[in-house]
Amino acid sequence: MPDIQSSFEANGFYHARGVFRPDEVAVLERDFDRIVAQLKASREDIDATWKCADVQKISRASDVILHTHNVQKYSRVWLDAFLNDRFLDIVGAILGPDIILHHSKLFQKPSERGSPFPMHQDWPYFPTEHDRMIAGIIHVSGATDEMGCLRVYPGSHRLGRIEGADGRQKVDVLDCFPITRAAVIEADPGDVVFFHYLTLHGSMPNRSRQVRKTVLCQMYAGSDRVVDGNRHPDERMVLRGWNHCISRTAAGQAS
């Protein structure tokens, strides 16, 4: 799939349409909703709204976003989604034949009061030695601009690592990349938007009457590894191929 690879290398993201069929999306949504119900019943602190100045500029005090890590620990259906050949064929075109699951995240932006995310890079949260880490956002629902869909700056991955660009602190260089001018990536249910962990991205609030439902799958190449000392969950699950950097110690280490 050379067109996928070249497009991703040029833009730092790739919008894959219709990766999951409507019947598959219906099953994914069923288990998505079941996870959300279980989270709410647990009374855990599940609001993942970021507390930072850039979020406060574009959000309201009542905004929330429901969140949990690692949906594959709740649902076999979601593990099967990450093992879906159509999904992994696209990942393989970007990362190569060896694909490692780092973690997954569920995000539900409630209607009319779904929290935004500021422009940021992902690398500060789980840097790898060779920067061969990507995310794939699986769209369980549609995602329009009014629903607070993903926004990116195409080609921004070529800036490399921007120190402090975790979205939670003031970084002068990010003033040149306001979220209001970022490319709007609207998507349909079943679409997957892949992006490099150096690509500047964020999202506006959900002000629509619809709930936005997505699951993000973070993956890295089997020839890469997360740097030592990182405390973010790292599942190290081989989705395809081989993990060339795993060791006996790492294989037995809790995330």
Q: Within 13 A of 204's CA, how many CA atoms are on the CB side?
A: 20
- pTM, two decimals, is 0.97
Answer yes or no: CATH 3.40.50.620 is held by domain 2-251. Answer: no
* Amino acid residing at 18: G
The confidence score (pLDDT) of residue 221 equals 98
Q: What is the mean pLDDT of residues 109-131?
A: 97
The confidence score (pLDDT) of residue 254 equals 56
Q: Of the candidates 37, 138, 23, 22, which has an alpha carbon nearest to the alpha carbon of residue 78? A: 138
**In terms of DSSP H, where are the helices of the chain?**
2-11, 22-42, 53-58, 76-82, 85-95, 248-251
The encoded tokens of residue 124 equal: 């500060």
Domain coordinates of the chain in residue numbers? 2-251
Q: What tens digit of pLDDT does each residue of 67-90 get?
A: 999 999 999 999 999 999 999 999
Q: What tens digit of pLDDT does each residue of 200-245 get?
A: 999 999 999 999 999 999 999 999 999 998 889 899 999 999 999 9
The confidence score (pLDDT) of residue 44 equals 85
